[in-house]
Every structure is written in C-alpha cells, then in structure tokens.
C-alpha cells in the first residue's frame, strides 16, 4: 500500500498510513512527510513498534538532531532511563517508577501542560518534535496541538499589524512562574536566561505566517510587563480555540510528529501513580528567529 496522508480536521493534523517507520525512508517518502508537515503541522503514525534506534534513524532521515542541552532536571541527578539523545518526557525515574507527586523533577516537567512550542527558550528553537508512546496511562494524558498559522489568519488586520514587528523574550523561568514553580538556584537562573523570538514568523517553504506563541514567552521588548502579558494571554486564548486544536488520544506504538514553528501543544493530566512512558526526539531549527545580541534581559 502506498503512503497515504489523511486529514484529521479542517485546520490541523493528518494520519499517515502505508509506511513502516522501521524501514529506511525513501527520498520520495521523506519529501511527502515534509510536505505533509508543512500542510497539516501534525502527523500521526499509528501502530509503529519502534526501538529507540529505529525512532532515531527515522528522525535523522528528516533532519539534524537538536543537540543543545535537554533533560536538564534529570541531568542534575543522573536520572537517565534512555539515551540522552532523547528527551525523556515520561513521568518515570531511573528505576521506571512514577515520580512521587511532590518530586521537584515532576513538578518542573508538568509545566508542559501549558501551551508551548518546544525549545522556544533556545536561541535556535526546534523544528520538528517526534514523540512515541511506549506505555500509556489508563485515562487522560492526551496531547493537544493548536495551529498557529490558522490562528494568525483568523486575526483581524489591526491585530496583525500590531503584532508583526514585536519581539518577545522566552525562558523556562516564565513558563514555570505561571504554575507557581519559582524556586530556582542562581545556576538555574543563569541557565534559563531569556532569549528573543519574533512574535510573527514565516514558514520558509510555504511563506505562511504564524503566531509564535509559547508559555515560555514572558515579555515583549519595549512594552510594559502587564500589557505584554495580557496581549500574550489574549493571543493564546484566541489561538487555542477548539477549531484550531487536534487532541491526540494515545495508543502504545503511536508516533506523533509536530512542527514547532507553526503549532503549540500541551500535555493533559493523568493519574500520577500510573506510568506514562513517552520519548521524544527533536529536529533542530535552521536559524534564530531574530538577532540575539541584546537578547538577554538584565
Ligand atoms: C513534549 C510535550 C506533552 C505530553 O514531548 O514536548 O510537551 O503530552 N509533551 O507528553
Ligand atoms: Mn513539549
């Protein structure tokens, strides 16, 4: 059966059949996947029982890996279950036990239940993320995706003009502040220094514009802080209306791939005592969205 890409809704998401991700990608398949990503922003591959190595090989066939630091909280305590070339997005410790509800690593990690774009806090933010489900909980734990291109197109002209030139600062300190996680060491504060990102970005291959939002965005350069936060809040509310959202209900052996340049996503809650083993590879973006030289807030 040839590869087929079937849309999952009017704005975002498509399911891909007729491909075995354990096999090497042909150039034609790789191009069809990139085209599908440009068009649907989220691609769902079901029933793909991959090893970590196969997941990595599929990733590398689509672009270079993001090599900047990941698993920051796990690194601090040597809490590795899987190779550090992956983002371990599970709720499991090195013995494959769910973290205690009050574990600092867990409380930091559940910041990903806020709408965000992966690595928007890095100078060169992520292009694609590829998340694979190895174990899933009995209930909850969906991942939701919102289309920032469709959201941009639904803005009125005045709002488009207002946001076009704006530059934001992004940091994990900002996203964690939203959920009241505020205890950081001086070293962590240094590591999480804000970077600049433009608020409107253009997808290179299509020219489509999108709103580059993320819960990591905490300031707008030259704006009063409360006004900046309110604009980001209003834009996020607009962009995450149900019509722009696909909610993925996981099955074991799903691999879901999303374009961080034109989507936000968030995890949904699930029973904390149940294992949820999801593993992510990340393809790096090609350049900063804006010059960085004065990016870092004092
Ligand atoms: C991620 C992420 C959410 C989830 O892998 O980047 O935000 O539902 N995941 O696990
Ligand atoms: Mn994420």
Within a 13 Å sphere around the CA of 6, how many CA atoms are in the beta-carbon half?
Answer: 9
The yes-or-no verdict on residue 297 having pLDDT over 90 is no
More confident residue, 194 or 295: 194
3-state secondary structure of 232: helix
The yes-or-no verdict on residue 273 having pLDDT over 60 is yes
- Answer whether 111 contacts ligand 1 (Cβ < 6 A): no
Residues 193-222 as b/e (b if ≥16 CB within 10 A, e otherwise) read ebbbbbbbbebeeeebbbbbbbbbbbbbbe
How much is the pTM? Answer: 0.96
Parse the chain into domains and list their residue ranges.
4-284
Average pLDDT on 125-152 reads 98
Average pLDDT on 228-237 reads 98
- Answer whether 118 contacts ligand 1 (Cβ < 6 A): yes
Rounded to the nearest angstrom, the gap between the alpha carbon of residue 30 and the centroid of all alpha carbons in its chain is: 21
**Both structure tokens of 253:** 């052996």
Per DSSP, 25 falls in state P
What number does CATH give the domain 4-284? 3.60.130.10
Average pLDDT on 208-232 reads 98
| C-alpha of residue 108 to centroid of ligand 2, in Å | 12
**Both structure tokens of 98:** 């769910």
Q: Which ligand is nearest to the CA of 129?
A: 1
Q: Which ligand 1 atom minimizes the distance to the CA of 267?
A: 8
Contact by Cβ (8 Å): 285, 262: no
């Amino acid at each position: 059966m040839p590869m087929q890409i079937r849309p999952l809704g009017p704005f975002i998401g498509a399911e891909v059949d007729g491909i075995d991700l354990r096999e090497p990608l042909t150039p034609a398949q790789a191009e069809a996947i990139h085209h599908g990503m440009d068009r649907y922003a989220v691609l769902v591959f079901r029933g793909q029982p991959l090893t970590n190595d196969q997941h990595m090989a599929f990733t590398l066939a689509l672009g270079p890996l993001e090599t900047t630091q990941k698993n920051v909280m796990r690194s601090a305590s040597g809490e590795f279950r899987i190779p550090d070339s992956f983002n371990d997005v599970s709720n499991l410790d090195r013995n494959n036990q769910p973290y205690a509800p009050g574990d600092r690593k867990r409380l930091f990690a559940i910041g990903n239940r806020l709408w965000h774009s992966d690595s928007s806090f890095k100078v060169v933010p992520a292009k694609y993320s590829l998340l694979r489900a190895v174990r899933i909980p009995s209930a909850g734990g969906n991942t939701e995706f919102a289309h920032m291109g469709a959201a941009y197109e639904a803005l009125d002209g005045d709002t488009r003009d207002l946001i076009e030139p704006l530059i934001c600062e992004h940091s994990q300190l900002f996203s964690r502040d939203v959920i009241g996680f505020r205890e950081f060491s001086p070293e962590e504060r240094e590591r999480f220094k804000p970077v600049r990102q433009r608020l409107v970005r253009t997808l290179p291959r299509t020219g489509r514009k999108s709103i580059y939002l993320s819960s990591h965005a905490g300031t707008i350069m030259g704006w009063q802080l409360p006004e900046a936060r309110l604009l980001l809040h209003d834009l996020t509310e607009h962009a995450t209306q149900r019509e722009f959202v696909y909610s993925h209900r996981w099955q074991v052996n799903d691999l879901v791939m999303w374009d961080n340049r034109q989507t936000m996503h968030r995890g949904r809650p699930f029973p904390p005592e149940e294992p949820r083993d999801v593993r992510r590879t990340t393809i790096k973006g090609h350049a900063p969205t804006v010059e960085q030289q004065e990016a870092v807030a004092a």
